[in-house]
């Protein structure tokens, strides 16, 4: 079962990684004197209620590569915090959602595949069966219901423009000894770049697109799961025949010759502290632990610190090692406290920032506030290194 931190992180990741909402929030269809800014954009007015929850459709953007639907979810109970809609719990014209983005105020953007846009008719049915809430205890709660909305479709010449799709020739380049293939699609509303990263490559940030004299930041990106990470990055539409250069400045490569390692740590005695006023206010208390590496531990990775952290719903240990390590390339790391395996909460890499160097953190949950006297961390995967910026010219 996922932890609360993982559930919250999953929703926050949707906000950060999937959509730049400003990209098309201002998109309007020519209506009431307003000028259309994005082809295929349609203002919506449909609304549906089930129980104490109401779902309003605010706008949609239809294109040859998919349909984005902006929803506003409201509750009759002001104390309810709305997380959003899980993509698989919504269907447009019978097609399930592919991804979701939450805006934090009850607004959700759902992405559907191209086949969710019918070629005929004035409206398409949107059916939602579950809305996800965050309860006061921070647990996510899925509320079943039945919300049916009629989504207006673009018509005539506007629909033809929105359906237009150009595919540029793929570009193949070598990076860190492996092939990187980049595919580019162009619609009237976006320039879309697709690529796969082989197992020894990962990326901290999506690429930027240099279009002529302008540098465009990603408006939307999503990552598929699997041994070869597939990425899809959306940028604003670019004119035909304009020089396009894709710029990667966040690629890292892992060492393929890495070996499993084991850190054996003796922890000093620790007296559980009484919550301070600051901890009561911020609902988090932290203390660094004193420790010693036991004989037999490798020189790498270099253990930097161990942090004890108390949160409202759990107590955890955070182990920080120097450098960026691809700890999830094979088997995930194992943490033992006094010989008993601890539940892992998170594994994360943190590139250097300010005076802090590169770090990798492994967080494990404790069964109680008591700290074990011995800690064993078993990991694998290689140390990663940041690659120089990579520029790829796209053929338009």
pLDDT tens readout for residues 38-84: 789 999 999 999 999 999 999 999 999 899 999 999 999 888 888 89
Q: How many domains does the chain have?
A: 3
Same domain, 143 and 185: no
Same domain, 343 and 273: yes
Q: What is the DSSP letter of 270?
A: -
pLDDT at 149 over 70: yes
Same domain, 50 and 73: yes
Nearest CA among 191, 239, 187 for reference residue 219:
191
End-to-end CA gap in the chain: 47
Same domain, 191 and 109: no
Same domain, 280 and 373: yes
Q: Is residue 133 part of a domain?
A: yes
pLDDT at 30 over 90: no
Same domain, 15 and 136: yes
Q: What's the pLDDT score for residue 88?
A: 93
* Burial class for 33, CB neighbours closer than 10 Å (0-12, 13-18, 19+): exposed
Residues 6 or more apart in contact with residue 236 via CB below 8 angstroms: 23, 190, 191, 216, 219
Q: What is the CATH number of the domain that holds 18?
A: 2.60.40
Q: Is residue 310 part of a domain?
A: yes
Give the other-Cβ count within 10 Å of 330's Cβ: 14
Mean pLDDT throughout 96-123? 90
Q: What DSSP string describes 277-299?
A: HHHHHHT-EEEEPPEEEPTT--S
pLDDT tens, position by position, 249-290 = 988 887 766 678 899 999 999 998 888 887 777 778 899 999
Same domain, 214 and 341: no
Check: pTM over 0.85? Answer yes or no: no
- pLDDT grade, residue 8 (50/70/90)? very low
Instruction: Tell me which of 159-163, 221-225, 231-235, 346-350 is least confident.
Output: 221-225
More confident residue, 130 or 101: 130
Q: Is residue 256 part of a domain?
A: no
Domain limits for position 88: 4-160
| Domain end residue (candidates: 115, 137, 160) | 160
| Domain end residue (candidates: 117, 135, 160) | 160
pLDDT tens, position by position, 188-208 = 888 999 998 887 788 878 999
Same domain, 276 and 354: yes
Q: What's the pLDDT score for residue 91?
A: 97
SS3 label, residue 87: helix
Q: Which helix (H) or strand (E) holds 344?
A: strand 343-350
Q: Is residue 105 part of a domain?
A: yes
| Domain end residue (candidates: 102, 131, 160) | 160
Same domain, 247 and 268: no
Cβ atoms 53, 143 nearer than 8 A: yes
Same domain, 243 and 221: yes
pLDDT at 306 over 70: yes
Mean pLDDT throughout 371-393? 88
pLDDT at 5 over 80: no
Same domain, 236 and 267: no
Same domain, 40 and 70: yes
Residues 6 or more apart in contact with residue 26 via CB below 8 angstroms: 37
């Amino acid at each position: 079962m996922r932890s609360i931190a993982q559930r919250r992180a999953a929703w926050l990741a949707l906000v950060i990684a999937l959509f730049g909402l400003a990209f098309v929030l201002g998109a309007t269809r020519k209506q009431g004197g307003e000028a259309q800014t994005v082809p295929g954009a349609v203002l919506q007015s449909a609304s549906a209620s089930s129980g104490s929850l109401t779902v309003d459709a605010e706008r949609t953007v239809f294109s040859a590569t998919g349909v984005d639907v902006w929803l506003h979810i409201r509750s009759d109970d002001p104390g309810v915090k709305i997380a959003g809609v899980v993509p698989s719990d919504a269907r447009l014209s019978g097609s399930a959602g592919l991804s979701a983005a939450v805006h934090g105020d009850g607004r959700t953007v759902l992405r559907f595949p191209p086949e969710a846009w019918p070629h005929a008719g004035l409206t398409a049915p949107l059916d939602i069966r579950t809305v996800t809430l965050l309860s006061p205890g921070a647990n996510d709660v899925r509320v079943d219901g039945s919300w049916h909305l009629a989504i207006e479709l673009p018509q005539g010449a506007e629909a033809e423009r929105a359906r237009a799709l150009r595919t540029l020739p793929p570009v193949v380049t070598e990076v860190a000894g492996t092939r990187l293939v980049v595919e580019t699609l162009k619609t009237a509303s976006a320039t879309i770049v697709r690529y796969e990263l082989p197992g020894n490559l990962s990326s901290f940030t999506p690429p930027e697109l240099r279009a002529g004299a302008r540098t465009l930041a990603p408006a939307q990106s999503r990552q598929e799961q699997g041994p070869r990470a597939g990425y899809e990055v959306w940028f604003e539409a670019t004119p035909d025949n304009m020089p396009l250069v894709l710029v990667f400045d966040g690629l890292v490569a892992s060492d393929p010759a890495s070996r499993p390692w084991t850190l054996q740590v003796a922890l000093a005695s620790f007296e559980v502290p009484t919550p301070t006023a600051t901890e009561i206010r911020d609902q988090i208390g932290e203390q660094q632990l004193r420790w010693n590496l036991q004989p037999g531990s490798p020189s790498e990775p270099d253990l930097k610190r161990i942090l004890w952290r108390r949160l409202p719903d759990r107590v955890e240990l955070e182990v920080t090692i120097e450098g960026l390590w691809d700890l999830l390339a094979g088997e995930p790391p194992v943490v033992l406290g006094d010989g008993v395996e601890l539940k892992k909460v998170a594994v994360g890499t943190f590139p250097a920032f300010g005076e802090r160097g590169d770090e990798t953190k492994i967080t494990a949950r404790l069964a109680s506030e008591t700290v074990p006297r011995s800690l064993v961390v078993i990991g694998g995967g290689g140390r990663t290194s940041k690659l120089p910026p990579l520029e790829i010219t796209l053929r338009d």
